[in-house]
Structure 1
Amino acid sequence: MLKLMRSPLKYVQGQGALSAVYEETKDLGTSFLFICSNSGYRNCHEKIEESFEGKEAELKFEIFGGISSIGEVERMQKIVRENQINCVVAVGGGSAIDTAKATAHYEKLPVVIIPTVVATDAPCTGLSVIYNNDGSFSHYIFYPKNPDAVIVDSDIIAHAPVKFLVAGMGDALGTYFEARACEKAKAPSLENGGITKSAMALCRLCYETLLEDGYKALKACENQIVTPALEAIIEANTYLSGVGADNGGLAVSHSVYNGFTALEECEATMHGSVVAFGTLAQLVLEDAPKAEFNQVLEFCVSVGLPVTLKEIGVTDKERVHIAAKNACAEGESIHNMIGDVTPGQLYDALIAADVLGQEYLAKRK
């Protein structure tokens, strides 16, 4: 298996980055469709329009339906064709981003990502998570290339709800541990290639950055200010986690998330929150050293990530069997683990992680 590395063609981050949108995208087209979340449109469209002021470019802003569903992607494709769009831009969170990437892929157009939150590592990855129209998980789409540009305005992130930054840290938390498991098993990355030393270095740096700057970034975001720590976590959540996951691979953490999407009580639980708990379950399965498990546990609690089933919305242990079975479905990344994982083994690991999390929280009281 050949080793490979992929990443966005361009990554731009900093305060006031929205003012540079035209300069960073002018070579990609002259007719732009901005697929926006409600808050993305509200917070960004004026600055984006100012960036294009006086330039020969047509801009169309469209607020999408909230979920990167099959039907929503088809609706955006129709808008692209009707308006002769030649560049698709996402302005919003993970679902808006996944919708834009899928739309651009099917229409064979370049795609630019402008995240307004850093709740997932979607901006930099060469894939989308697609849902059925009822909101249940459908499938992944793997693309032949990563986004043409990712532009992150740190001021926008600092003024977004704190819960998104925290969820992004949860998503990023799985990056190193899932890649490490794939490397041990000689499993392919998400790009279906061997894992390079560069990829593992990025994944490791992602985890180290979370430990060093996570709590400080949380406090900065709570006060809507931009600090070096917040800039570091924005990069970790967006670039290090995205490029790391793409080139390092997935294992238990993300399969656990996919499994819990089958439970109605978890519908309001953020992606990164479940991934964080799934990371604890993966460490149980690996029988990770006590010090390492406790380090991850302590980090989660310090920034407000869940360490118990109750915190992700589950109060009935019997329901965990359903999630475990779905997480172990054919094609899930959990099968990248050495020796594989059965639904029964995953159930036991999830319950064990829950018990250890409860004990830790009880000691803190």
Structure 2
Amino acid sequence: MSEPRPFRSFVSPSRYVQGAGAISLLGELIAPLCASPVILADNNVWGFSGDAVTESLRKAGLDEVRISFGGRATDREIASVSSQLTERGADLVVGLGGGSTLDTAKAAGSDAGIPWVTVPTTASTDAPGTGVAVIYTDEGVLDHFRILGRNPALVLVDSQYVANAPVSFLIAGIGDALSTWLEARASGGAGRALVSGFQAPATGLAAAELSWTILRENALQAIADVKEHKVTPALDNVIEANILLSGLGFEAGGLSVAHSVHNGLTVAEQTHGLQHGEKVNIGSIVQLILDGAPDSEINDFISFTTRVGLPTSLTELGLSIQDTETLNAVARRTTLEDEFVHTMPFTVTPQIIVDALTEVETRSRAVREREGLPAPVKYEHRR
């Protein structure tokens, strides 16, 4: 990784609004920003949100124009959406849906030279508020990141949509957000470069740590509440941690091992049906191992995230410590020259990653057995 520029930098969305029924505010909040907005949403999301969006826009004197999202944030999809935005004379794009939809809206809006708004319908990643788009290949392997240079003009989160979504989305978001503090303290806290090339301000590190604290205090209750489709203070706290605080903490706190391991895992076909935060959680355990964290801290993290419902073993990803060919491929991708893993204060080799992944499996099994938790079994694709 390059040396950080000798300046601190903090970025954020221009506005963040969250709460049950917040979708009704969409038209009111974007009307001062545009005259011809275009919505990007897939057919499933539009099926449960379209009427509310259309009514909100109508009340604000705006027409409803929608582009259907193709399902994955790829260069091809972004180019197609950007072209359609230009053809329709859009002066703002609203991404409505999950992380891939939002990243596509952000990148396509950037290419079209217009601002973007994100309306996440799950709390599964911190993508909604960031100025970064994660781009995949058509096969679902992570290809590259795009640093867009600005953040959304608005992030609007309807907590009821989050409560109505499958609980696996919230759990995945918790996995993504829990990594924020672990990576920020290892990277930004050590003066390493952020994705922007600048140094981490204290504000970014504080946001990352607050996200961690909120999740440790509220995650289990919020998961129980979503299973009953209830919006509660615990759920709203977790939504804010997953989306806002994790995003702030990532962009102004830094990335490290956890997300590099996620990126490595994308080359394993067995993991393609799993969500971002589910793979990141394995990376968080590797992060702790490479940090030299005390056994008590590593084991506590494994115990807590197992109870949350996150994978804490290779078995749950469909991988095996005997499959050295796949593990070596994951490790090579994890340690590419431009990966965040190289924010560590020592050289991280593929063999170090293979050894750490093997330790994840053995530690997880030991912790589960000691605490009477179920032995790991392969995850079903739960989307």
**Does TM, normalized by the shorter one, top 0.5?**
yes
Q: How does 1:1-20 map to 2 (within 5 A)?
A: 1-20=6-25
What secondary structure, in the 3-state scheme, does the structure 2 residue paired with 1:297 have? helix
Give 1:141's match in structure 2, choosing from 138, 146, 152: 146
Alignment of 1:108 with 2:113, yes or no, is: yes
Matches within 5 A, 1:237-256: 237-256=242-261
Deviation at 1:143, TM superposition (A): 1.4
Letter of the 2:196 counterpart: E
The aligned amino acid for 2:323 is K
Mapped to 2, the partners of 1:209 and 1:55 lie a distance apart of: 36
Residue identity in the other structure for 1:340: T
Q: How far 1:298 sits from its partner (Å)?
A: 1.8
Secondary structure of the corresponding residue to residue 12 of structure 1: strand
Give how far 1:351 is off: 0.8
Equivalent residue for 1:336, pick from 327, 340, 343:
343
Q: Is the 8 Å Cα contact of residues 6 and 146 (structure 1) preserved in structure 2? A: yes
What is the CA distance between 1:330 and its match in structure 2? Answer: 1.4
- 1:197-236 matches, cutoff 5 A: 197-236=202-241
The Cα offsets for residues 198-257 of structure 1, whole Å up to 9 and x where unpaired, read as 111110011111100000000000010011000000001000101110111110111111
Identity of aligned residues (%): 35
Deviates more, 1:39-48 or 1:236-245: 39-48
Instruction: Give 1:135 deviation, angstroms.
Output: 2.4
> Is the contact made by 2:299 and 2:367 (CA closer than 8 Å) also made in structure 1?
no
1:123 maps to amino acid = P
Moved beyond 3 Å, runs of 4+? none
Partners of 2:210 and 2:98 in 1: CA distance: 23
Q: For each residue in 1:301-348, what CA deviation from the matched residue of structure 2 results, as whole angstroms up to 9, or x when unmatched?
A: 111001100112213431211101111011111111111311111111
Task: Identify which of 120, 131, 142 aligns with 2:125.
Answer: 120
Check if 1:93 corresponds to 2:110: no
| TM alignment of 1:129-168, pairs within 5 A | 129-168=134-173
* Structure 2: gaps (5+ residues): 1-5, 374-383
Structure 2 residue aligned with 1:180: 185
- For residue 27 of structure 1, give the secondary structure of its aligned residue in structure 2: helix
Q: CA deviation at 1:38?
A: 3.0
Q: What SS does structure 1 have at the residue aligned with 2:49?
A: helix
Tell me which amino acid in the other structure corresponds to 1:317.
Answer: D
Q: Does 1:317 align with 2:323?
A: yes
Indicate conservation of the 8 Å contact 2:38/2:66, yes or no. Answer: yes
Instruction: Identify the match of residue 264 of structure 1 among 253, 266, 269.
Output: 269
- Aligned: 1:361 with 2:368: yes
TM-score, L = length of structure 1: 0.98
Conservation of the 8 A alpha-carbon contact between 1:131 and 1:137: yes
Judging changes above 3 Å, is the alpha-carbon distance between structure 1 residues 100 and 320 closer, same or farther for their aligned structure 2 residues? same
Given that 2:167 and 2:223 are in contact with CA atoms closer than 8 Å, whether structure 1 keeps it comes out as yes
Amino acid at match of 1:122: A
| Residue identity matched to 1:95 | S
- For 1:120, what is the secondary structure of its paired residue? coil
Deviation at 1:30, TM superposition (A): 1.3
Secondary structure, aligned partner of 1:4? coil
SS of corresponding position for 1:130: strand
Output the aligned Cα RMSD. 1.2
Structure 1 runs not aligned, ≥5 long: none
State the aligned residue count: 365
Q: What displacement does 1:39 show?
A: 2.7
1:21: which partner in 2? Answer: 26
1:81 maps to what in 2? 86
Query: Aligned with 1:105: secondary structure?
Result: helix
Shift of 1:272: 0.3
Contact 2:28–2:60 under 8 Å retained in 1: no
